[in-house]
Amino acid sequence: MNGPKSESPLRPLWLLAELTYSCPLQCPYCSNPLLLGDRSRELATSDWLRVLDEARRLGAAQLGFSGGEPLLRKDLEVIVAEARRLGYYTNLLTSGVGMDEARIAALKEAGLDHIQVSFQADRADLNDRLAGSDSFAHKTEVAHLVKAYGYPMVLNVVMHRHNLDRMREILDMALALEADYIELANTQYYGWALVNRDYLLPTREQLARAEAVAHDYQARFGDRLKIYFVVPDYFEGRPKPCMNGWGRVFLSVAPDGTALPCHAAADLPGLELPNVRDHSIEWIWHQSPDFNAFRGESWMQEPCAGCDNRSDCFGGCRCQAYLLTGDARATDPACSKSPQHHVILDAVQQAAAQSCVPDPVLRNKRNARRLLNREIPFPFPAVRSRTRTADAVADRAGGAD
Ligand code: SF4
Ligand code: SF4
């Protein structure tokens, strides 16, 4: 790995504040760590205000509040108000659970710019089954509130085997709710989603049908509804330009203050990820060995090192490379040039062939314990959260029961 650099012209333009990993929902596609996190170790309000100030001085302009469910933080309005004072453009990424009229009025008053509400599906039964919680009716109310308070209506639906065939109905729901944007994000296989890959991975035919419907609606309703259909890298033969390159524009801060070049990076071996309690954002961004570990191209091995595409895709995702090959410096196996591309092809082929889809492993405390105790099989390289003791998932940990 490269050593620390004394200076970098790069700026963390996009700051993701993961305020809590706690969430009332239990989505099997959740990309959060398997270890749910201890709420008593979350950063205090004053820590977050300092992080926002330091990152802004370094050039951060876009600020996302996510989790978990960020509405669980009672100090969200205080943090939003400070973000507004500092000049950020702010975006709340929420399941809607925890939002009501008083809360949205307070967030508006604090200066929140943008709200994105996630749905699991267009139908209450499917939505609530996937979320592990009766939340569809409330999400619908929240979507109306978002509109009523003058926000652009932005919906997000994570797509997979169990809702891709409902693309038409999902887009009809977006039109009925008078949404301005809908992001149809195909599942990325990290965290709980990787545990549930056999449950979630669609067939090529499902994807092709869903994409055709999305294009049809783009052509017919594109003036009313902006539709973003993000094609999954498992089916592309090319990896995504993950985070637009390691340590180039993106900085994530986990609930306990761990600073991450991407929100899944906690699973990578050999990194002693810095914490905002111990270091300034400036040191973390410019000097920390971990933010420099995969910056630029000098860490690349073949075939990436000699590939003409390397400045576009940055060798793909380091976390996916590690999780699927055991080597964080390997070419992302989503790339057809990777010597290990077969692990992706095999998974896609298996998804097409399976006649009996396994049950989902919902994201909750019980299943976190079962994963840590190896009662649930997880046939990928051990991740950090698997090597810690099951005791770490204490009763006060932040997931659903
Ligand atoms: S459980 Fe669902 S709603 Fe909660 S953080 Fe994960 S994906 Fe988001
Ligand atoms: S070989 Fe590496 S740099 Fe080239 S396209 Fe594949 S992942 Fe990107």
Determine the Cα–Cα distance for residues 260 and 243; give it in Å rounded to an integer. Answer: 11
Ligand 2 centroid – CA 310 distance (Å): 6
pLDDT of residue 374: 85
Angle at 88 between CA 84 and CA 91, to 5 degrees: 90
- Summarised one tens digit per residue, pLDDT across range 336-347 is 999 999 999 999
Which atom, in ligand 1's list, is nearest to the CA of 131? Answer: 2
- Pick the residue with more confidence: 117 or 244? 117
User: Is a pLDDT exceeding 50 seen at residue 245?
Assistant: yes
Structure tokens at 395: 């009763």
Number of C-alpha atoms within 13 angstroms, CB side, residue 229?
20
Among 4, 12, 7, CA closest to 251: 12
Average pLDDT over residues 127-152: 96
- Summarised one tens digit per residue, pLDDT across range 1-52 is 444 444 456 899 999 999 999 999 999 999 998 877 788 899 999 999 999 9
Determine the Cα–Cα distance for residues 226 and 235; give it in Å rounded to an integer. Answer: 23
User: Is a pLDDT exceeding 80 seen at residue 194?
Assistant: yes
- Pick the residue whose CA is nearest to atom 2 on ligand 2: 304
pLDDT band at residue 263 under the 50/70/90 scheme: confident
- What 3-state class would DSSP assign to 314? coil
pLDDT of residue 399: 67
- Pick the residue whose CA is nearest to atom 7 on ligand 1: 30
- Pick the residue whose CA is nearest to atom 6 on ligand 1: 30
User: Is a pLDDT exceeding 50 seen at residue 229?
Assistant: yes
pTM for the structure as a whole: 0.92
The strand order across the sheet containing 89-94 reads 226-230, 181-186, 154-159, 114-119, 89-94, 62-67, 14-20, 250-253, 259-260
pLDDT band at residue 383 under the 50/70/90 scheme: low
Structure tokens at 388: 């810690």
Among 360, 316, 369, 368, CA closest to 338: 316
pLDDT of residue 313: 93
The full DSSP string for 211-255 is HHHHHHHHHHHTTT-EEEEE--GGGTSS---GGGSTTTSEEEE-T
pLDDT of residue 107: 98
Ligand 1 centroid – CA 26 distance (Å): 6
Question: What percent of the chain has pLDDT above 90?
Answer: 78
Computed on alpha carbons and rounded to an integer, the radius of gyration of the chain in Å comes to 20
User: Is a pLDDT exceeding 90 seen at residue 380?
Assistant: no
Dihedral-angle region of residue 68 (phi above 0 means left; psi in -120 to 50 means alpha; beta otherwise) = left
Which atom, in ligand 1's list, is nearest to the CA of 21? Answer: 5
- The H-or-E segment that residue 91 falls in is strand 89-94
Pocket of ligand 2 (CB under 6 A): 238-239, 303-304, 307, 309-310, 313, 315-316, 331-332, 335, 337
Which atom, in ligand 1's list, is nearest to the CA of 67? Answer: 5
Ligand 1 centroid – CA 94 distance (Å): 9
Ligand number with the minimum distance to the CA of 185: 1
